Chains A and B, each alone.
Chain A
């Protein structure tokens, strides 16, 4: 039987990144992917002939520049295209001009914001500068294994001391601002800065993504900051749309891993991690095949890893309890459309650069909060928040010539839906999304050639993310940093010796970031991240 130094369970982008780093260090690595294709939720599929969808995740937001550099991802096919603008229609059936746009050009952006509020146009730069400073303050945390303040391990204490010293070094006003961001709701925080409803609505939307929280829920302000961290790498341009869809991110990382002799097997579902005397010794596939390695790394989320692949019987009760309590509460859905023609938004009817950026259905904080109200009580938002991009506008090869694909991120579609998800409810969600969007772009319905609706239940079923949570667990403060996924087990290790975690369910969390995969590899290799 072939021996491996490490087996990675799950061929998502983090699992692949972890494999690539281990292979790069000379380890014999095997990646096992349950599905017939790699990528997990970062994948591209030709769902309808000639139309390629980034079925699940759809932008590259926080992909760590060090991973792009170290794994030489551009050489392995990664090409990130800029996504530069955000268009927010102000109201359904609005007339031409009823929009708020955020452009990448400073002058153009200022002029557009001033059209709505001169004060907001001025505050925008200051707000941006503050969040830039805050993001710079917090960002070093992304690339390190989070030290546990309760630990007595000298290595963790050393890291903690370094971190403490770092935070003490921040100017007082920055510390105050950081505390506010950690404790306030996105809506309250934005109220301190802006008056325009559409601007606040659109900005607050980045605070609710992937959570079952509304813009007025405390703690959501921090997620705004998370969003800004991507912008810090603005010079590097790590933010945007991957040519070929998000599958090409996974493909590039996989190619980097394979170039270092990592093996990747698809159609290889793992059913159990083999454990002997509290030590991982390998895995068993659903086929019954056993594979051995002294190190097993799970890219699956904490629930699947520990309550599924490991089994509670192997875990200390306290830890198993923490994993049981770890919250997922998937709240987002995806609608992917194949279109015969581009949408014509009544607020900006002509084709133009706005279709190369994001289109955000977030006319106000109230709109988002109402969408949340529905979800809070187990219903699909009657008027959901939508973040839309048109990949074919950025990479024409995503659709046949002249035709388009549209990716619609939808929130809220709660995993715990009253009565549960079924085909009828899935189509109901699809109708709600299309009907709502058609109020802003009336030609949409007649342009649709194919519709793919992905509910949280589908996300769970297809890619195995528990409760369909896109971040492998909510990105809320009580389960971030040294608490992710469980107190005392945040450094990619587990109570089982030789078993590690490398998914978004570990620090620093979700997004097509690759940080968890890289950090886990560094931890395994005993190297400083």
Chain B
């Protein structure tokens, strides 16, 4: 049996579509309504409420907690302030990405880590000789993500303190003890709320009630996927193969190859993969992870040639789509779709570094009425959508 999240009692009756999806061994709603379109627009206009409880969560406590995590991840954890959240990947000893997630420094010696894959064994294996206690709190902590321009107002109305981007603080929302972080996976103004699983239903009810005047809606994974594409955020297993699952070396990625070079802090004396990453930095990565925009005119022409109006994907797709330049395949897109907000056909893609500069003309494979064609596209900067309210 698949697991249900602590919010399932609330989400199940709301799930009119009966469309569920698996996430880390749990069932979560793909969409609540019969189509996910409204749920997407709510992220950009009001506030969408996501159940993100399936994330793996670990508490790392102790004198050496910061040292352990610093050893593990590419960013500098020792320098993180109390109340700061770091987004970071972590690598194996060859500098290939194992997973990515967040580290929240709750106090001097306490961190909460989130990840997409289980990491208890990895944490424990790295903690040899260090004074750090690691607890898997994946099941005991429930998590909600409240995303959209109204998210801040809703939380303020519930008594949450103001938070800067990528900060976390304890709060009491309608009597429920939580921590709130200003984080999310939508590229919008957004917050994540962490609570004991036993408080989950009360928390859901409280947030939904407080959000009602602001137009809150529960939203599912399809809407989230559209938002994260616009935000240019990478997704494990979709946009990259984690090192632990790679069957062949060519499936591995370094942080530099998936546009996470900014998280690699080579000034740190020691961390997993450091030497390999330093060497890669010197010679430059072979691949880069870029944004692609398909040219509308080219797309329209391909459809016009067969007598059809342009068709667009109504959800974010997840597959490998070849990209061409100068007549040869030079990469592949792994996520893509139509942005209803930007009115652009977008994709996230891996290309050989030579073709990674913004503005580089490319072609993307398109299947138009059963036939494979190529549409003109070009490399563009990520994120595709980056509203000032995200950081303001």
Interface residues of A (CB under 8 A from B): 107-108, 110-111, 118-119, 121-123, 125-126, 129, 132-133, 171
Contact = CB atoms under 8 A, between A and B. Distances in A.
Given A108-B2, A110-B25, A123-B121, A118 B136 contact: yes
Given A108-B1, A108-B2, A125-B244, 6 more contacts: A107-B2, A107-B22, A118-B120, A118-B136, A119-B121, A122-B118
Contact of A129 (B1, B3, B247): B247
Contacts of B247: 129, 132-133
B25 A107 contact: yes
Nearest to B25: A107
A133 B249 CA distance: 11
Interface of B: 1-3, 22, 24-25, 118-122, 124, 136, 244-245, 247, 249
* Interface SS of chain A: helix
B391 to A, nearest CB: 35
Which of A122, A125, A129 has the most chain B CB within a 10 Å cutoff?
A122
A449 B44 CA distance: 69
Contacts of A107: 2, 22, 24-25
A208 to B, nearest CB: 27
B124 to A, nearest CB: 7
Nearest to A121: B118
B309 to A, nearest CB: 39
A115 to B, nearest CB: 12
B25 A111 contact: yes
B244 A126 contact: yes
Which of B24, B119, B121 has the most chain A CB within a 10 Å cutoff?
B121
7 contacts: A107-B24, A111-B25, A118-B120, A125-B245, A126-B244, A129-B244, A171-B249
Contacts of A110: 25, 118
A118 B118 contact: yes
A122 B25 contact: no
A122 B121 contact: yes
Nearest to A112: B1
Nearest to A136: B247
Contacts of B2: 107-108
Contacts of A171: 249
A123 B121 CA distance: 7
B301 to A, nearest CB: 39
Nearest to B119: A122
A125 B119 CA distance: 12
Nearest to A120: B121
Contacts of A119: 120-121, 124
A119 B1 CA distance: 20
B121 to A, nearest CB: 4
Contacts of A122: 118-122
Contacts of A126: 244
Which of A107, A110, A129 has the most chain B CB within a 10 Å cutoff?
A107
